Amino acid sequence: MRFRPCIDIHNGKVKQIVGGTLQDRGDRAKENFVSEQDAGFYADFYRRDGLTGGHIILLNPASSPYYEATKQQALLALSRYPGGMQLGGGVNEKNAAEFLNAGASHVIVTSYVFKDGRIYYENLEKVMRETGREHLVLDLSCRKKEDGYYIVTDRWQKFTDVRLSREVLDELAGYCDEFLIHAADVEGKAAGIAGELASLLGDWGKIPVTYAGGVGSYTDLKLLRELGKNRLDVTVGSALDLFGGSLSYRKVLELCEN
Question: In sequence order, what DSSP letters do the residues of 172-217 get, joined into one string?
Answer: HHTT-SEEEEEBTTTTTT-S---HHHHHHHHHH-SS-EEEES---S
pLDDT of residue 84: 98
* Rounded CA separation 54/43 (Å): 10
pLDDT of residue 19: 60
Q: Which residues of the chain, if any, have pLDDT below 70?
A: 19-20, 22, 25, 155
**Spatial CA neighbour of 80 closest among 17, 5, 137, 15:** 5
Backbone angles phi, psi at 257, to 5 degrees: -70, -30
Helix, strand and coil in the chain, % to nearest 5: 35, 25, 40
Strands (E), the chain: 6-10, 13-17, 31-34, 54-58, 85-88, 107-109, 114-115, 118-119, 136-139, 142-145, 148-153, 158-163, 178-182, 209-212, 232-235
Q: Is 2 helix (H, G, I), strand (E, B) or coil?
A: coil
* Rounded CA separation 110/89 (Å): 8
pLDDT of residue 105: 98
Indicate the Cα dihedral angle 229, 235, 239, 240, nearest 10°: 120
